[in-house]
Amino acid sequence: MFHKEGFKIILVTFILVTTVVLLTKNFITMEWLQYLIYAVALVFLILILQFFRNPKRPISLNENQVLSPVDGKVVVIEEVFEKEYFNEKRLQISVFMSPLNVHVTRYPVGGDVVFSKYHKGKYLVAWHPKASEENERTTVVVKNKSFGDVLHRQIAGALAKRIVNYAKEGQTVTQASESGFIKFGSRVDVFLPLDAKVNVSLNQKVTGGLSILASTHDA
C-alpha cells in the first residue's frame, strides 16, 4: 500500500524507468551496459516505492501513552526551553528518519488541535542542533486529556524538500492517525511535560504509531 503523497512521483518514476529501459534496448548494443542500466533503473524504482509505502498497523489507542509519530531512531531525549509555543521548559524527544524509513507522520496523542503553523527555513542536516529552529518545519499542538498540550514538530532535512501538514486548528484528532508526511528524510521532535515518564532510550529504533515514547506515571 502506498501513500497518496507519492502517487504522482511514483507515476513519473514508472514513466521515466520505462523510457530508460526502451531507449536502452533500442540504442545500446553492449549487453553488459544494458544490464547495468536495467539494474540501476530497477533499484531506483524500488527505492521510490519503498519510500512511499504506507503499511497498515495494529495500533492500540491509549490516552496515558505518547506514541512515536514516525519510524526512525531516537536521537534526542533532554529538557529544553521551547520558545515557539510554551515559552517554558519541556521534555524533548526527537526521532530521526532515514530515506529508507516510512515517512508518514502520525499524531502522538489524540485530542483537539490548538496550534498549527508552517515555517519556511533552511535545509540543514536533520541532526544539526539548530535544525529545530532554523530549518523548514511545521509545529502542531494537540490538547490531550492526560498530558495537556503536546507539541510535535516536523523538520525538513538536507534531502527533504517538502513537508505536508494536515493539521488544522479546531480539529479533533485521533491518536496515531495521519498528521502529515515528509518527503525524503528528516526528523520529528515531540515536546512533553517535564513529569512525563520516558519509555525509550537514545539510539533506540521506534515505529510510528506503535512504539511508546512516554507515558503517565500511572500507566
Would you name the residues annotated as active-site residues?
186
- Whole-angstrom CA distances from 118 to 94, 115, 153, 191, 194 are 19, 10, 10, 17, 25
Residue 78 has, within 13 A of its CA and on its CB side, a CA count of: 6
pLDDT of residue 51: 78
**pLDDT for residue 219:** 60
Contacts by 158-162, CB closer than 8 A, 24 or more apart: 158/123, 158/124, 158/125, 158/126, 158/185, 159/99, 159/184, 159/185, 159/186, 160/123, 160/126, 160/136, 160/184, 160/185, 160/186, 161/123
219 or 5: whose pLDDT is higher?
A: 5
Looking at per-residue pLDDT, the higher value among 50 and 212 belongs to: 212
* pLDDT for 160 beyond 60: no
Mean pLDDT value across residues 113-122: 89
Tell me: the pLDDT tens digits for 66-97?
A: 999 999 999 999 999 999 999 999 999 999 98
Exposure string of 171-190, with b = 16+ CB inside 10 Å and e = fewer, is bebebbebbbbbbbbbbbbb
